[in-house]
Structures are given as C-alpha cells and as structure tokens.
Homo-oligomer: A and B are copies of this chain.
Amino acid sequence: MIRRLGVCYYPEHWPETLWPEDARRMAEAGLSLVRIGEFAWSRLEPEPGVLRWDWLDRAIETLGAAGLKVVLGTPTATPPRWMLDRHPDMLARDLQGRPRGFGSRRHYCFSHPGYLEECRRIVTLLAERHGRNPCLAAWQTDNEYGCHDTVLSYSEAARDAFRGWLRARYGGANGGDIAALNAAWGTVFWSMEYRDFDEIDLPNLTVTEAAPGHWLAFRRFSSDQVVAFNRAQVQIIRAFSEAPIAHNHMGRETDVDHFALGGDLDIASWDSYPLGFLEDRVGAPPERQRRYARQGDPDFQAFHHDLYRAAATLAPAGGTPRWWVMEQQPGPVNWAPYNPAPLPGMVRLWTWEAFAHGAEAVLYFRWRQAPFGQEQLHAGLLRPDSAAAPGLTEAAQVARELADAPLVTQAQAAVALIFDHASDWAWRVQPQGRGLSYFGLVFDLYRALRRAGLSIDILSTAARDFTGYRVILAPGMMQMSDDLKTALNTSGAEILVGPRSAARTDDFRIPVPLPPAWPGLDVTVARLETLRPDMPRPLAGGGAAQYWIETLEGTADSLMALEDGTPVAMREGRVTYCGAWLDEPGLDRLVAGLCARAGLPCHALPDGLRIRDTAAERFWFNYGSETADTPAGPIPPAGVLRQPL
C-alpha cells in the first residue's frame, strides 16, 4: 500500500494571499493530503441560509493546483452562534445538569432532532457542491466525537430519545414492554419499578448510584445516538460523492463504539498526541511519565493503531482495511497538564510506527501554529511567523524515506486481542475498586504482549473466524455470547479470558450458573475481591495479583497460584481463565506460558524498545533515551530500524 503524508489546514484562518505559498511549501515537504473545513461553518454560512462557497472553492483550487488532495470535513462540531437562536435547547447538559454553552466547540446534544436536521442540511449543501470535486481525496464527518466528554448528554432531548430507545429495546406489542425492562434491570431491588417508559429518567443526580442496568442502557443508547448522527451524514455524502468517508477519534475515547461507527465508514482514523496522552490519559505511574515525558508511552500509540485497524476491517466495502492518523502531534501541545517538546526524532518515529502498523496516511496537526484562539500554544509544522518548526524537518525526512524505501505490507499477526466497548462501559458503571477500568486491564495485558516482542491484531466483538491466530485473548469482557465462546473453543488457538470475562448478561445481571460458565472449562468464580493498591498478593514463582482477585473453584488445572496454593489462573483444553489482575512480572509469566503452549517465540524486550512485524520486515522502535542493541544493530534514541524478516 502507498503510504501518504498530509497536514491539517485552516485557510479561513489566514489571508488568502498566503495560500499559494503554503500549498507550495506543503508539496515541497512531501505532503500530499490536506484536511480542511471542519471548523468553518460560520464562514460557510455566516447568517442562517446565507451560504458563502467562494472562499472554500478557491482554497481547494489553490491546494489542488499545487498537486495536493483535500480531505473535506463537515463542520458540524462547531455550529455557529445563530444556531442557538433557532434551537435554544440544542445544548448538551453535563452530569450536573448544567447546559454546556456556546463559546468553544461540540456544544450540541446528539439527540436533538432540530440540530440533526440542520446538520443534514449543511452536509447536503457541502456534498452537493464538492462531492465530485477531483481534488477531493476523502471526507471527514464532524470532528472527534466524544472529545471533552460529549457523548453522554443529560438533556431533555436525550431523555426523550432514551425513552424511545428503551421502548424499542424492550419491545412489546404496543411500543415497549415495561415489565421486561423492570425484570432486566432488577428495579424491584429498591422499589424502582416503572409503570411506563415515560417514567424513566436519566441515571444522573440520583441519591446514590442508579441501577447498573439503567446506566449501561444509557451508555449503549448514547453510543447509538452518535452512530445514528454519523450515519445521517454518511448517507447524504454517499448520495453525492464516491470519495471515501472517515471520522477522526481521540485517544482513549471509548464512550462511542468505534466498531459500530466503523461499519458505516470507509476509513477509520484517530488523532495521535503521544505526549499529551502520556500526561493526561495513559494513567502511567510517575516514573513512567518521567521516563517517557518527551517520547510518549511506548505502547499507547501502537494500541490505538491496532484498534483502529480493527475498526477499519468493518468498512462496508471490505478489502484491505484503510485507517489513518488524521492528526499527528508535531511538537508541544497546549492541553495536557504539562507540555514538553518531543525528543528530536520522535515525530519521525511516531509517523513510521503508524505506517508499520498499517496506516495508509498520517496527517500532521496543524500546518501553522495559530496566533489566536484556544490552541495558540499548540505547535504546527510552521511557527506563527511561518518559519519552519522542528516538526516540518522530520515530516520532510519521512516523506523522503517513504519515497526511497520498500513498501510496507501488512500481515496477519499471530496474537489476537478482542476489544469490547460495552465492557469498558460496564466496568465504568461498576468498577468495584477505585480506579479500576477495562481499558486499564486490557492495556496492561497489551503492554505485556509488546514486552514479549509480539505483534498483535485487535479484533472486534463480532469476530468469529479466528483462522491463523495462535493466541487469542479476551480479558475482562463482561458480556460474552455462547457462540463466541464456541468459536474460541474451536479456533485451535490458546485462549486467555478473565478476570470478569462473561461475568454479566447483556442487561447487567449476574448469570446463573455463575461465570464464566465456559463449555469444557470447569472453573467457577465463587467470589471476588478488590484490593488496596498497596496490598498485592504474591504469586508462587514470582509476580503478584493486584487490584482484583477472584476465588476460582473447579477441576481445571491450576496454572498460576498464590503463595498459599490458591489458584489464580486455571486451564482446561486450550482455555485459560485468569481470575486476577496481575502485575508486570505476573503478566510476563502468563504471556510466556501462553506463547510456549502455542509454540510462539517471544523476545523479552528491554523497556522502551518495541517491535512491529509486517509481511516482510521487522520494525524496531526505540522509545528510550539511550541507544539500544537489537539483532539488526544498535538503534539510537527515537530511532527506527527496518530489519528484513
């Protein structure tokens, strides 16, 4: 696959006289894609119904004239101020019930019918005008659904839509069977029984927590609303354009189901800010934050690359999955608690790492640092005075390297990891221990796989054909259907599940027989405990169980146990159930055992050194701050090595 570089650009921010020179310099640096338009509604439609296409037409023309292709964003993340006069109740409401006002972005509720209609209108106009523009490379819908905690809205519009959604889900003859909902949520518990769907409120602002079934339903609904909102745009665009459609997600933003959304899109994409994420979202301990402050977490980007590659496999057209990094950090950002500059070389490393994981394109955010607005301290490839910033040099270097080096071709990995958004929601609803999250559990395991030198495919929950995988992992996946269990049992691979896998029904009830109720695996979770973080329980043979530990009963073999012999991981057939959240040494042992049984070679990598295997090469990446040795030779800090396999 041809790999491409690009950049995010806001022609409306700059005098038109600057455009040609900007376009020339982009092309000169080896960039070929330019994303524009996604925040420009107030320039496209300064007054309701008054459209101004001229500037956009000229901007696309100018870029096209320089040989660049355009990614055109729908502007629905930033409705203009006049929209509020037309739809005063379109604002989302936060957990505290306060309206989330105008003055920044994403100030809309996904459930507001009037705003949805306005979005349909502007997208129709935009698609009509530029849908067949030869300069068009792709579309982007909206921008970063869910950023600034915007998936969940507690507005009246959301409440009304939620009631309708519940009616449909708990369907009966006459528009909903309230008894089915009461049974599913267990509302009898505290006399919370409903007589009608119209009695149901949103689950916020209750005296103590609302029922877990109530919360999970609201999270499912909220994700569905985003998918429907996006689908409305996609359907319009497809009527006018054959260009592929993408949406750009933020890192560790799991409130919306990427797989459900991915089923409507042609290109999956995400916005990669390694340094901002390390400070703000990874949740690394301070030592790791210090060690990687200027490099980013060595596994966080890879995880998301693999996640969005998985989302891309669900695209309606099928074929080679297409996924992009729509925004790539090019220097210091403005929004993390602390905002250092990347170590020299890291912008190049991040870009190559995306390609090694299969990215079709990487676009830097943004072209020129804005001297105004909320992100004025967010670096661009250019400084505000148009001088080249360090990121531009590294981007141009990647462009040259792309031109000179062999194509990167993906291969299926030997290890598969199933990621389930609903499980992330379920753990948030019921963490049972402070700070425990599904994402954290899965990411800890993912890191252990990477420490073992493995390349990983992430799979959606819909996967049933596991051909070619030798190890498959589904930790913490709270709802697992019988057919998934069967498909895993018959895959021929070593399977790892637990803790908490298959622990709840779809409606958040504990199933009886008790979990995991796995065919062919005699293990029962008799009890579970959460532990103070300062009270891990040592394992016999090294490592420890921490945070979460289940009491396992059954006749399956004990693979790993506490020092007193209590089993922590048990195996029967090829299925291992691990009932605890293991620390790093424990996870390393667990992964080594899985690989040994699967006949899969491991490489215990030093901290900061990471591998990604493609069809013909092994890529080495050094996130460390010192030179490291590899079988292919030494690799400097921020270094990238391509080793033919």
Contacts and interface: CB of A to CB of B under 8 A. Distances in A.
Interface of A: 12-13, 39-43, 46-47, 75, 78-82, 92, 96-107, 147-148, 150, 185-195, 199, 201, 203-214, 279, 286, 289-290, 293, 331-332, 334, 337-341, 369-377, 379, 383-385, 387, 389-390, 430, 432-434, 508-514, 526-532, 534-535, 551
Contacts of A204: 101
Given A430-B377, A529-B332, A39 B191 contact: yes
A568 to B, nearest CB: 15
Given A13-B186, A289-B532, 10 more contacts: A13-B188, A39-B190, A41-B191, A101-B201, A102-B201, A104-B211, A105-B191, A190-B373, A339-B529, A341-B529
Given A13-B189, A189-B373, A103 B527 contact: no
6 contacts: A41-B191, A46-B193, A103-B211, A104-B206, A185-B373, A331-B527
B512 A371 contact: yes
A237 B42 CA distance: 50
Nearest to A341: B529
A369 B510 CA distance: 10
A212 B374 CA distance: 6
Given A81-B199, A432-B377, A103 B191 contact: no
Contacts of A375: 189
A18 to B, nearest CB: 12
A505 B290 CA distance: 34
B191 A534 contact: no
Given A383-B514, A385-B514, A12 B188 contact: yes
Given A81-B199, A290-B534, A337 B433 contact: yes
Contact of A214 (B103, B211, B289): B103
A203 to B, nearest CB: 6
A370 B101 contact: no
Contact of A340 (B81, B100, B334, B530): B530
Nearest to A41: B191
A58 B558 CA distance: 47
A192 B104 contact: yes
Contacts of A210: 103-104, 374
A586 to B, nearest CB: 18
Contacts of A209: 104, 374
A261 to B, nearest CB: 21
B339 A530 contact: yes
A190 B150 contact: no
A369 to B, nearest CB: 8
B433 A527 contact: no
Contacts of A102: 192, 201, 206
Top 6 nearest A-B pairs by Cβ distance?
A186-B372, A189-B373, A371-B510, A42-B191, A78-B191, A103-B206
A375 B186 CA distance: 11
